[in-house]
Chain A
Amino acid sequence: MSRFLSLHVLRLLPQVAALAVILLMISFAFPDFFRLEIQNGRLYGSLVDILNRGAPVALLAIGMTVVIATKGIDLSVGAVMAICGAVAAACITSGHSLAVTLLVTLGAGVLCGLWNGVLVAVLDIQPIIATLVLMVAGRGIAQLITEGAILTFNDPGLIFIGSGSLFGLPMPVVIWLAFGIVVALLVRRTALGMLIEALGINRRASTLSGVSTGVLLIAAYMLSGLCAAVAGIIAAADIRGADANNAGLWLELDAILAVVIGGTSLLGGRFSIAASLIGAMIIQAINTGILLSGFPPEFNLIIKAAIIVLILVIQSPRARTVFAWLSRSRGAADGAGQDRADRAGTGQEAK
Chain B
Amino acid sequence: MQSDNPLVLAATGIDKSFPGAKALDQVDFSLRRGEVHALLGENGAGKSTLVKCLTGAYRRNAGRIVLDGVEVDPRDTLEAQNLGIGTVYQEVNLLPNLTVAENLFLGRQPRRFGLVDTREMNRRARVLLAQYDLDIDVAAGLSGYSVAVQQVVAIARAVDLSGKVLILDEPTASLDAHEVAMLFRIVRRLRDRGLGIVFITHFLEQVYEIADRITVLRNGRLVGTQEAAGLSRRDLIAMMLGRELADAADDAHGRAAAGAGEVRFRFRNYGRSGRIRPFDLDVRAGEVVGVAGLLGSGRTETAEILFGAERADSGTAEAGGRRLDLSSPRAAIREKFGFCPEDRKVDGIVGDLSVRENIALALQARRGWARPLGRAEQDRLADHYIKALDIRTTDREKPIRLLSGGNQQKVILARWLATNPDFLILDEPTRGIDVGAHAEIIRLIESLCENGMSLIVISSELEELVAYSSRVIVLRDRAHVAELSGERVTTAAIVEAIAATERAQA
On A, residues with C-beta under 8 Å from B are 4, 189-192, 194-195, 197-198, 201-202, 204-212, 269-270
Chain A residues with CB under 8 Å of B415's CB are 209
CB within 8 A of B362: which of A192, A210, A212, A269? A210
Query: Any chain A CB within 8 A of the CB of B373?
Result: yes
Chain A residues with CB under 8 Å of B364's CB are 191, 194-195
Nearest CB of chain A from residue B252's CB, rounded to whole Å:
33
A63 to B375, CA, bound (A): 25
Nearest CB of chain A from residue B401's CB, rounded to whole Å:
9
List the 8 shortest-distance A-B pairs measured between CB atoms, nearest first. A210-B365, A210-B333, A191-B372, A209-B362, A211-B365, A210-B330, A191-B369, A198-B350
Query: Any chain A CB within 8 A of the CB of B437?
Result: no
Given contacts A191-B367, A191-B371, A192-B369, contact A210 B351 (CB under 8 A): no
Report the nearest A residue to B344, measured CB to CB. A205
Q: Which of A4, A194, A211, A269 has the most CB of B within 10 A?
A: A194
Query: Any chain A CB within 8 A of the CB of B366?
Result: yes
Query: Any chain A CB within 8 A of the CB of B348?
Result: yes
- A–B Cβ pairs within 8 angstroms, 9 of them: A194-B360, A195-B364, A201-B353, A202-B349, A208-B339, A208-B348, A209-B329, A209-B333, A210-B366
A201 and B330 contact, CB distance less than 8 A: no
Chain B residues with CB under 8 Å of A269's CB are 352-353
B372 and A190 contact, CB distance less than 8 A: yes
A76 to B333, CA, bound (A): 36
Q: Mark B354-365, 1 if CB is under 8 A from A, else 0.
A: 000100111011
How many CB-defined contacts (below 8 Å) exist between A and B? 80
A208 and B341 contact, CB distance less than 8 A: yes
Given contacts A191-B367, A197-B353, contact A208 B372 (CB under 8 A): no
A209 and B361 contact, CB distance less than 8 A: yes
B361 and A207 contact, CB distance less than 8 A: no
A194 and B346 contact, CB distance less than 8 A: no
CB within 8 A of A201: which of B329, B352, B373, B375? B352
Given contacts A191-B364, A194-B364, contact A204 B357 (CB under 8 A): no
Chain A residues with CB under 8 Å of B329's CB are 207-210
Chain A residues with CB under 8 Å of B369's CB are 190-192, 195
Beyond known contacts A197-B350, A207-B330: 9 more, CB 8 A cutoff: A190-B369, A191-B371, A192-B369, A198-B350, A201-B353, A207-B309, A211-B365, A212-B330, A270-B352
Nearest CB of chain A from residue B338's CB, rounded to whole Å:
9
Chain B residues with CB under 8 Å of A189's CB are 372
Report the nearest B residue to A3, measured CB to CB. B397
Query: Any chain A CB within 8 A of the CB of B135?
Result: no
Nearest CB of chain B from residue A241's CB, rounded to whole Å:
40
Chain A residues with CB under 8 Å of B368's CB are 191
Query: Any chain A CB within 8 A of the CB of B370?
Result: yes
A209 and B372 contact, CB distance less than 8 A: no
Q: Count of chain B residues with Cβ under 8 Å from any Cβ of A?
A: 31
Chain A residues with CB under 8 Å of B365's CB are 195, 206, 209-212
B346 and A205 contact, CB distance less than 8 A: yes
A192 to B330, CA, bound (A): 16
A198 to B366, CA, bound (A): 14
A190 and B370 contact, CB distance less than 8 A: yes
A205 and B349 contact, CB distance less than 8 A: yes
Query: Any chain A CB within 8 A of the CB of B347?
Result: yes
B347 and A201 contact, CB distance less than 8 A: no
A206 and B372 contact, CB distance less than 8 A: no
B371 and A202 contact, CB distance less than 8 A: no
Chain B residues with CB under 8 Å of A195's CB are 364-365, 369
Chain A residues with CB under 8 Å of B352's CB are 197, 201, 269-270
Q: Which of A4, A204, A205 has the most CB of B within 10 A?
A: A205
Report the nearest A residue to B378, measured CB to CB. A194
A189 to B370, CA, bound (A): 9
Chain A residues with CB under 8 Å of B372's CB are 189-191, 194
A207 to B366, CA, bound (A): 11
Nearest CB of chain A from residue B405's CB, rounded to whole Å:
15
A194 and B353 contact, CB distance less than 8 A: yes
A197 to B356, CA, bound (A): 14
Report the nearest B residue to A267, measured CB to CB. B352
B309 and A206 contact, CB distance less than 8 A: no
A182 to B418, CA, bound (A): 31
Nearest CB of chain A from residue B78's CB, rounded to whole Å:
28
B350 and A206 contact, CB distance less than 8 A: yes
Within 8 A of A (CB), among B56-73: none
Nearest CB of chain A from residue B253's CB, rounded to whole Å:
33
Nearest CB of chain B from residue A35's CB, rounded to whole Å:
43
A201 to B351, CA, bound (A): 7
Report the nearest B residue to A268, measured CB to CB. B352
Nearest CB of chain B from residue A202's CB, rounded to whole Å:
5
B330 and A202 contact, CB distance less than 8 A: no
B330 and A205 contact, CB distance less than 8 A: no
A192 to B371, CA, bound (A): 10
Chain B residues with CB under 8 Å of A206's CB are 350, 361, 365
A201 to B329, CA, bound (A): 18
Report the nearest B residue to A197, measured CB to CB. B353
Q: Which of B339, B341, B347 has the most CB of A within 10 A?
A: B347
Nearest CB of chain B from residue A103's CB, rounded to whole Å:
24
Q: Which of B329, B341, B360 has the most CB of A within 10 A?
A: B329
Chain A residues with CB under 8 Å of B350's CB are 197-198, 201-202, 205-206
Nearest CB of chain A from residue B66's CB, rounded to whole Å:
40
Given contacts A197-B353, A198-B361, A209-B362, contact A204 B370 (CB under 8 A): no
